[in-house]
A and B are shown apart, each in its own frame.
Chain A
């Protein structure tokens, strides 16, 4: 029972961490290595708004989602657009942005037990024999809601449809009057905002440590590599595999072996099906 509960929460956590990354990658083909940095930045911004400026929680959360989203937009508009098409430079630029954000935050000393985001609802509930925080239940609910929302968003709204158009065939989309630069910038902005939402939901379970900026990136990349990056079902399946795998290993062997699961999953998937479980067209013929 415990395994099922913690497995599900762990899997949904992984899904939340990966969604933003995969959204950006799927639409604009931009691997946003600053994903973890945005996650961290969102959490810390919210903390600063609440504790230094005294803004109420809901407002500061929305504000930090908005600010980081805007930051993502301008990162694309100001930097990525200059490097568009130069695969080497795009990749290096996002990684460098990540390192700048994380290391500056580390230098400013934003880690430790004082930096805790509030839970949405305090307390916990007993399921079977084990106690589960309300926050974890909410996390699962928000994760599922977010997936449904994203599905509806990309299939029903105009911006969402233009996202999918760009990811399917950029030139045709341009000829239909969709501004591809604008859409790609929006996609980075949405991906960053999703990273912040994930942070707001997940971070209350622990305290903020700058190292998570890199850890989140590792998790997102691991899930993406195992599942196949731009496919949402792939991410779901990979999150379930990794999430349950980690919990099973942690319960039956040792908590420290969780990393081994991730590494083993990556190595196995690379050897068997390098494009990921649901990766379709990432074979060589499709170039960046």
Chain B
């Protein structure tokens, strides 16, 4: 038996957190800065990094990071109603193929195909997933996992939508900068929009459904309707990411439904910390550049992400962002028991 523990760690909010809580943050520049710093930092990083990095290879990486961040945000929104998606590739692939299909077969310009893919793709995904809502959590995961893999098989074997070759030479964005800034701005909008959404009355209902759905039902709220709406919003974001990627690559193929598009956002969310959206963006902006740096590993990268995923789950279940947030708002000290 170890000797009795004399001290324990105590966490206390920093004084400045209390002082800058509501309207009082206007009382001085320090308080204002304390509130603004964590918000301005990611925005300025996202807006400025494409300019500093330029248009080359790493400029593309910024774009990839943004699309995967969108997928991660969409995952996090689903998770905040208690739906565990294992098929971000479904949203991504459906969006890609809707945008690519209309552009390839009807030659519609991308300003038409991207919104169409966003809304139409989201409708398709929602209709596919709504029946599962009545079932328990794991069923939703299973169905979302299996659907993209089946679509992948379907396109391969039936030779529809370009089959194994995919749809080539789609219309590109007018410039690299436009693509990157559309992606960056949409990440920022989703990040802050979702965070705000979950603190509105609407978001309280969503979080209530995650915590205890029967209480929400007892409150006379139709939880299926709310869940369906959430799926639609999340699918919109995912499909938008897919459509962007399609036009950026000027190509859509079976790889859109690949498991990578599920695992990478998922690893990002788990690494960054789920539940507050900022973590998912942080996680993907760590993982995607890392994975580009490790491109030489080839197929082993997937194994690596999954390993990161397992390690993060077992050792750091709260995620990086929650850790940083805690350090920012609180200090720790040892007190005697």
Seen from chain A, the residues whose Cβ lies within 8 Å of a Cβ on chain B are: 25, 29, 31, 33, 79, 82-83, 86-89, 91-93, 95-97, 99-100, 103-104, 106-107, 214, 218, 221-222, 224-225, 256-260, 262-263, 266-267, 270-271, 274-275, 282-288
- Interface residue from A83, A225, A260 paired with B143 (Cβ < 8 Å): A225
User: What 7 A-B pairs come out closest when comparing CB atoms?
Assistant: A103-B303, A256-B157, A96-B306, A270-B131, A99-B306, A259-B153, A96-B309
CB distance from B313 to the nearest CB of A (A): 5
**Residue B134 CB within 8 A of the other chain:** yes
B302 CB contacts on chain A under 8 angstroms: 99, 103
Q: Which residues from chain A contact B84 at a C-beta distance below 8 Å?
A: 87-88, 91-92
CA distance A106 to B313 in the complex (A): 24
Contact between B141 and A31 (Cβ–Cβ < 8 Å)?
yes
**Interchain CB contact (< 8 A) of B136 among A221, A262, A288:** A288
Shortest Cβ distance from residue B40 to the other chain A in the assembled complex, whole angstroms: 31
Contacts of A100 in B (CB 8 A): 303, 306-307, 310
Known: A99-B303, A104-B300, A218-B149. A93 touches B313 (CB 8 A): yes
B residues in contact (CB < 8 Å) with A: 79, 84, 86, 128, 131-132, 134-139, 141-143, 145-147, 149-151, 153-154, 157-159, 213-214, 259, 263, 266, 270, 274, 298-300, 302-303, 305-307, 309-310, 313-314, 317
Name 8 A/B residue pairs within 8 A (Cβ), A-sorted: A33-B86, A79-B314, A87-B138, A92-B84, A95-B86, A96-B313, A99-B305, A225-B142
In the complex, A256→B306 CA distance in Å? 32
Given known pairs A97-B310, A274-B131, A284-B136, the reply for A260 and B266 (CB within 8 Å) is no
A263 lies within 8 A of B150 (CB):
yes
A274 touches B132 (CB 8 A): yes
Given contacts A91-B84, A221-B146, A267-B128, contact A214 B310 (CB under 8 A): no
Cβ-defined partner of A103 (8 Å) among B131, B135, B300? B300
User: B221 to chain A: closest CB distance in Å?
Assistant: 14
Return the contact of B274 from the options A88, A221, A284, A286 (Cβ within 8 A): A88
A31 proximity list for chain B (CB < 8 A): 138, 141-142
Among A86, A92, A103, A104, contact of B309 (Cβ-Cβ < 8 Å):
A92
Contact status B86-A91, CB under 8 Å: yes
Main secondary structure of the interface of B (DSSP, over half): helix
Q: Are B150 and A218 in contact (CB under 8 A)?
A: yes
CB neighbours (8 Å) of A224 from chain B are: 142
* Chain A contacts for B299, CB-based, 8 A: 103, 106-107
A95 to B267, CA, bound (A): 11
Establish whether residues A214 and B138, one from each chain, have CB atoms under 8 Å apart when the complex forms.
no
Chain B residues near A214: list those with CB within 8 A: 149, 259
| Other-chain contact of A263, B132, B154, B263 (Cβ < 8 Å) | B154
A91 to B157, CA, bound (A): 29
Complex Cα distance, B136 from A282, in Å, reads: 6
Question: A107 near B135 (CB under 8 angstroms)?
Answer: no
A6 to B94, CA, bound (A): 34
CA distance A256 to B154 in the complex (A): 8
Closest residue of A by beta carbon distance from B317: A89
CB of A67, distance to nearest CB on chain B (Å) = 20
With contact pairs A256-B157, A282-B136 given, residues A99 and B263 touching in the complex (Cβ less than 8 Å): yes
Q: Which residue of chain B is the closest to A214 with respect to CB atoms?
A: B149
Q: Which of B79, B149, B303, B307 gathers the greatest number of chain A CB atoms within 10 Å?
A: B303
A288: which B residues are within 8 A, CB to CB? 136-138
Residues of B within 8 A of A221 (CB): 142, 145-146
**Partner pick for A96 among B274, B310, B317, CB 8 A cutoff:** B310
Given contacts A88-B79, A259-B157, A267-B128, contact A274 B141 (CB under 8 A): no
Contact of A92 among B213, B266, B298 (CB under 8 A): B266
The smallest C-beta distance from B302 to any residue of chain A, in angstroms, reads: 5
Closest B residue to A224 using CB positions: B142
B143: A residues at CB distance < 8 A? 225, 266, 270
How distant is the Cα of A97 from the Cα of B112 in the complex, in angstroms? Answer: 41
B150–A262 CB distance below 8 A: yes
How many angstroms from the CA of A33 to the CA of B300 in the assembled complex? Answer: 19
Q: How far is the CA of A267 from the CA of B125 in the complex (A)?
A: 12
Which residues of chain B are within 8 angstroms of A86 by Cβ–Cβ distance? Answer: 317
Chain A hits for B151, CB < 8 A: 263
B313 in complex: contacting residue of A25, A89, A263, CB < 8 Å = A89
Whether the pair A282, B139 counts as a contact (CB closer than 8 A) is: yes
Distance between Cα atoms of A281 and B166 in the complex (Å): 42
A266 to B132, CA, bound (A): 11
Residues on B with C-beta less than 8 A from A222 are: 146, 150
Which residue of chain A lies nearest to B150 when distances are taken between CB atoms in the complex? Answer: A263
Contact present for B158 and A260 (CB under 8 Å): yes
Query: Nearest-CB distance from A18 to chain B (Å)?
Result: 12
Kindly state the separation between the CA atoms of A260 and B154 in the bound complex, as whole angstroms: 7
A97 touches B306 (CB 8 A): yes
Specify which of B139, B153, B303 is in contact with A104 (CB 8 Å cutoff).
B303
Q: Are B259 and A99 in contact (CB under 8 A)?
A: yes
